Structure 1
């Protein structure tokens, strides 16, 4: 709590010059959206597909200083699994949409494609095998709003938009400023978090702006590991990682005459975090007679930016832009040893690193069809994308012999420095035959240098039945290209297999050893999406939507099982490999179908001249099934995926979720309540399959404007201290890990329990 108290004190002293500012929350139903349509001036409820709009203020009011957790407790269709031990999952923070994989949701910033992580999730957690966008690289202080398109949109945006699109809109004000100091601590006295952020807008020339946002956050780890019953002490570290994150965001535009402007935006983030690996028992290394817990620490630099020019050419609207993104991670492991080096082993190792870079050139022409029937819009354009992926080997001591325990690091059998080019062209049409009917269609062709071309299409419709009531539907195809990370990742690391710690080699699909075990060239995933729903409102501040969806995915990309046994050992021995005993690789092994229902309801209005009330509720039900599991073409006795891996893509995320947010403002006082009720999920945390019960969390907050422009707030997250179910198979758990793990890596509510926080915000 000392972070919170010092934050409050400093902010009060610093904000004495704050001036009065009228604070009004935007109505998300009437918010003009830019996602899912290339027409201008369309509100969220007027869209042919479901689009949720979440304001930056709403995100900040959750009291979660990272974007993934905030969206998890606000949006029924978003899930953010709180991985507690897995280094690649716990230290990068993508979200999932509609129960699919993180890399099946396309993330945009200001409508431009965001680059993915260089770090590939190869751990046993949600999103296993994916390299998605780390939302923790975008500071909350820079966000104006987020638009979430819950519909397949590959025909508009290209690869990855199978589940939908998350479009993060940055602040672009030319005046005013805000600042925040935040502190939190769990009721158990750990996980102390301190955050300081600020954002300011400056006028440039005649009608231009420069908006600068900065943020710095530090958090101490939490640990909810049970006592290791083999040694009668806590040996594991299971909880949120120790982390520090510093970010800078810019958004700018400068008019070029009356009909055009040059614009740019970007982010720069430095992340340092670490997690404990599996505990190594006494006798494992002579350096640590009492055993040891290796700590894996990724250090990440992330940068993304776009510059462009947009304007009118007669009736045409044109936009030309160039984007760049880079995610670079260097890994080290410490408090460990390489047992192959005996007493001469170092205790800290440089494990190497990975870099992913992306260059995107976009050009779009758009023409409003104001004089055609009841109106419409037509757009066409193209895109060029260049991607590269590189692996840097670690210190030789890190991968010598059996390697550094915890993470032996990167040492690809062949140098990994790969790249590819992709070209695309699209046509997008929306037309109103009559005022009440909106019809749309889009077609796009993408050509990738490594696997060829893919055509996708999308048809949309919206019919207004009467004032305040409409039906809508979309149908289309989509795809997700196999990422460079999935095709070329190579590493050796420790992993659990049937509760036993083993050394596993992850090999590229082109490696001769992987080929000998059943690997083949990856193909793009292919999808068909259908969504249909009802829209009511807005009527006197009230709105309601109900949507049904179905997503069929063929050739879904997954990380194979850890293949082991005599046949695998023989192939490894013949190849001269002795530093790992099991092998995994990526494969198009499965087809799946996901369907669900999503409901939203909102009301906001004035109860009195100085009293406002806002209520939002949402519900989602999701069901994924496995349609096809292809056999291993080389070793049929070794399935490419076993139950644990299948559950990650079918049942390991909550089957349902209910969310509710209520806020009441009366004069200088405000109170808020957030409720999130998560349904059951099924996974295989160790050796037994288990269905984990649904859990409900309640967050409450209150605030007071101590003077114009300055607000102090206090809140508690998880008021009733909800915790996930514990692992059932404790007998096997004790044998494998001493019973240290309280639950699996899939919990959406995390392990921290009740958490207290304080905020001080100032608006200038």
Structure 2
């Protein structure tokens, strides 16, 4: 952000999704009203920016206007027909008034012959921005956003027996008992960006953010007769909620300017993200009738400090006609990651039968509490020279030393050649790295399962724990990459610009989360060194090598007419393919137990890497402006995607699809604009998950393919059409 490294979220994705094992930057905390532009460097840039810049850098530039502002309010909701999900009018009953059951033992429902239609997900978003001068020498620009989004539900009717066929409540039981869709979210964020010229040559600058987000996500419904329920507490069953409170904050300050022929920039950045978990409308089965229904389940916290110093100047070199840009810099970074335990009732095993801890999300235990720290320092050099009038070469190198895994040296060579006016070729080769995140090194989450009255731990263990070390875990090393890219930029017609870039990125020693290792391997290995009570375990390893190849095409064209206004066309195409090229061997103790790399990172996870995202994506859009009237029409095509199962017969293919968005705008006054639009105008939904008998004759697909009928891997979601209106005041 503004050229400075932004902190990541404290949340570590450990569930079955694309991006499993990663912690991302929470871009959703940045209000759109605060953004002036977004810059993308598509070459590998670890030699300039350090860890995580294997494929490039995204830089969010904040607004700098010293005057003016805007205030907008947007309200919308999903208005959709859930294609392929039938509506039912009630329960079929026999002559005795009892529900009729089908061959699978589920209640027979009476179809209406129509698909479900819903209006939900009502969302109110208020955004504002204002620029203020600081005398004649500076600016102070403030932006904010408030959003209140109601949940969506795309569930299919639940035909399972809820109470019993002899219970009259079975006839009237709620068959829409899950909540399958967007979470309920309320968030608020505020950003400022400021600069002040201390002298004509030196500027003080600062920017900061403060955000808070509260969310509520639903889990699986616990039926009244479920073993996970205590009827005295929840007589009608219960839908447990994971509630989260995310507090995110950052601040940066620095001084930049010129001293003689040198340009300099020194800065200090602080960033922190705290992710707290709660559980509501739930219970701890093992506490029996005395169980509470709300729990504090603990939380995660990440923070970093970053200090930078950079200098640059143009330097005359005797053998070149043009001066060379020479830049040097240094960086120091300090990071901390923490896991905080929840209240006792959220994880304890009580005196009654059943699983320990709060249903849906057992809290972090005191044994999970951890504080992990590290620091790093780096120096870099960057040289950029015009060898001739048409030929540019850039060379960069960076040395970085981390207190945990050691040091790394990376380099980059990039070039650009102007063949003729309107045609330029470019290419780059770079080495890169991604340091293991502190969450990958220290995250721990365990649950207690009682087997024959004996407590047994299952869960995720940090690589330095006694359990992980006994199973062969070693300190995580950095991922290493080699990035090759080449492309061209061409302006074949006035107003038309086309950029094409090819890339190939090879990453060795990628950090992945192992499968849950089987108890028949875990128990003997741990008991052999005196560790008892652990049944299953998983941990992070440098486990695979991958190769990603692809091409990016971006085209823009502006065309202005005398009578029909200005048209701005944009088009984009991306082809991206990732292959797992090697599974690294299982570490010593696991190898001795005859486990292989395939056992540690199995078929399902490999396919998520390779096919869990579409290989192709196409964007086509036109913006039109005629006097006070404006419009945007956008078409997006997502390629075929695979939601892998444990076997090929349970794999689910999500077909390619075109999604259409439209918006109309009218400026009633210079200061007032009204707009209305629709995302996913034609209400495109992914195909429903397969249900009924399996094609291999081995029983039926899971009943949850009917209750939760869409794959979460759908690249365009499954919420359907969203219609909205917006009013904007500008000054």
Regarding TM over 0.5, the answer is yes
| Residue aligning to 2:251 | 305
SS at match of 1:527: strand
Distance 1:274 1:210, change over 3 A: same
Alignment of 1:554 with 2:512, yes or no, is no
The answer to whether the Cα contact below 8 Å between 1:229 and 1:738 also exists between their aligned partners in 2 is no
CA contact (8 A) 1:324 1:360 kept: yes
Could you say what secondary structure the match of 1:340 adopts? helix
SS in 2 for 1:635: helix
CA contact (8 A) 1:674 1:699 kept: yes
Report the alpha carbon displacement of residue 195 of structure 1 after superposing the two structures with TM.
0.7
Residue correspondence of structure 1 range 189-588 to structure 2 within 5 A: 189-231=119-161, 233-281=175-223, 282-283=225-226, 284-286=228-230, 287-369=233-315, 373-401=321-349, 402-411=356-365, 413=367, 415-492=369-446, 504-537=458-491, 539-569=493-523, 581-588=535-542
What's the CA shift for 1:709? 2.4
Q: Following the alignment from structure 2 to structure 1, what is the Cα–Cα distance between the partners of residues 724 and 337?
A: 40
Matched position secondary structure for 2:155:
coil
Determine the structure 1 residue equivalent to 2:665. 703
Change (3 A) 1:345 1:455: same
Secondary structure at the counterpart of residue 237 of structure 1: coil
Distance change (3 Å), C-alpha of 1:538 and 1:430:
farther
Cα distance, 1:178 vs. partner? Answer: 0.9
What is the DSSP-based 3-state SS (H/G/I as helix, E as strand, rest coil) of the residue aligned with 2:367?
A: coil
Listed as ranges, the matches of 1:111-122 within 5 Å are 111-122=3-14
* 1:714 aligns to 2:669 (yes or no): no
The answer (yes or no) to whether the contact 1:154–1:479 under 8 Å persists in 2 is yes
Structure possessing the higher radius of gyration over alpha carbons: 2
Q: For 2:472 and 2:479, how far apart are their aligned partners in 1? A: 19
Deviation at 1:157, TM superposition (A): 0.2
The secondary structure found in structure 1 opposite 2:7 is coil
Secondary structure of the residue aligned to 1:263 is strand
Aligned match of 2:590: 635
Is 1:675 aligned to 2:635, yes or no? yes
Take 1:142 and 1:723, find their aligned partners in 2: how far apart are those partners? Answer: 33
The structure-2 alpha-carbon separation of the partners of 1:450 and 1:243, relative to structure 1 and needing over 3 Å to count, comes to same
Q: 1:121 to 1:660 in 2, by over 3 A?
A: same
Bigger Cα displacement from structure 2, 639-648 vs 116-125: 639-648
Partner of 1:66: none
**Alpha-carbon distance in 1 for matches of 2:285, 2:535:** 16
Match of 1:693 among 650, 655, 680: 655
* 1:374 positional shift: 2.9
User: Does the 8 Å CA contact 1:681/1:693 hold for their aligned counterparts?
Assistant: yes
In structure 2, the CA distance between the partners of 1:494 and 1:696, relative to structure 1 (3 Å rule), is farther
Equivalent in the alignment of 2:452: none
Deviation of 1:721 (Å): 1.0
Match of 1:142 among 28, 34, 42: 34
CA distance in 1, matches of 2:725, 2:189: 21
SS of the counterpart of 1:631? coil
SS at match of 1:136: helix
Distance 1:734 1:288 in 2: 29
Matches within 5 A, 1:149-164: 149-164=41-56
Is the contact made by 2:691 and 2:702 (CA closer than 8 Å) also made in structure 1? no
By how many angstroms is 1:343 displaced?
1.6
Hey, what does 1:62 align to over in structure 2? none
Shift of 1:404: 1.2
C-alpha RMSD of matched pairs (Å):
2.1
Distance 1:455-1:354 versus aligned 2 partners, 3 A rule: same
C-alpha deviation, 1:311, in angstroms: 0.6
What does the per-residue CA deviation read over 1:132-175, in whole Å, with 9 as the maximum and x for residues that have no partner?
10111111110111112222110010000112211100001101
Distance 1:435 1:150 in 2: 24
2-side partners of 1:649 and 1:373: how far apart? 49
Unaligned runs of 5+ in 1: 1-108, 496-501
- Please tell me whether residue 747 in structure 1 is matched to residue 714 in structure 2: yes
Mapped contact 1:468–1:537 kept (Cα < 8 A): yes
Whether contact under 8 Å (1:128, 1:648) holds in the other structure is no
* Count of paired positions: 649
CA distance in 2, matches of 1:198, 1:445: 42
Could you tell me whether the CA contact under 8 Å between 1:412 and 1:490 is conserved in 2?
no
Distance apart, 1:577 and its partner CA: 6.5
The whole-number CA distance in structure 2 between the counterparts of 1:221 and 1:111 is 35
Distance 1:472 1:730 in 2: 54
Deviations along 1:692-724, one digit per CA (max 9) or x if unpaired, are 211110001111111112110000110111112
Change (3 A) 1:315 1:353: same
Verify the 8 A CA contact 2:643 2:651 in the aligned structure 1. Answer: yes
Q: Secondary structure at the match of 1:721?
A: coil
**For the residues of structure 1 that align with 2:511 and 2:383, how far apart are their CA atoms?**
32
User: Which of 645, 658, 669 is the equivalent residue of 2:618?
Assistant: 658
Residues 354, 623 of structure 1: alpha-carbon distance in 2 compared, 3 angstrom cutoff? same
For residues 42 and 18 of structure 2, the distance between their equivalents in structure 1, rounded to whole angstroms, comes to: 20
Matched-pair contact (CA < 8 Å) for 2:689–2:705:
no
In the alignment, the residues of structure 1 paired with residue 414 and residue 705 of structure 2 have an alpha-carbon distance, to the nearest angstrom, of 55
Deviation at 1:730, TM superposition (A): 5.1
SS in 1 for 2:477: coil
Q: Which moved more, 1:734-743 or 1:687-696?
A: 734-743
Cα 1:479–1:249 change in 2 (3 A) is same
- Three-state SS of the structure 1 residue aligned to 2:121 is coil
Residue by residue over 1:80-115, the C-alpha shift from the partner in whole angstroms, topping out at 9 and shown as x without a partner, is xxxxxxxxxxxxxxxxxxxxxxxxxxxxx0000000
CA-to-partner distance for each residue in 1:647-699, whole Å, 9 max, x for gaps?
Answer: 22221011100001101111111111011100011222576223321111000
Deviations 1:287-343 (A, max 9, x none): 334432221111011001110000101011000000000001111011111122122
Which segments of 5 or more consecutive residues in structure 2 lack a partner in the other structure?
80-117, 163-174, 350-355, 450-455, 694-698
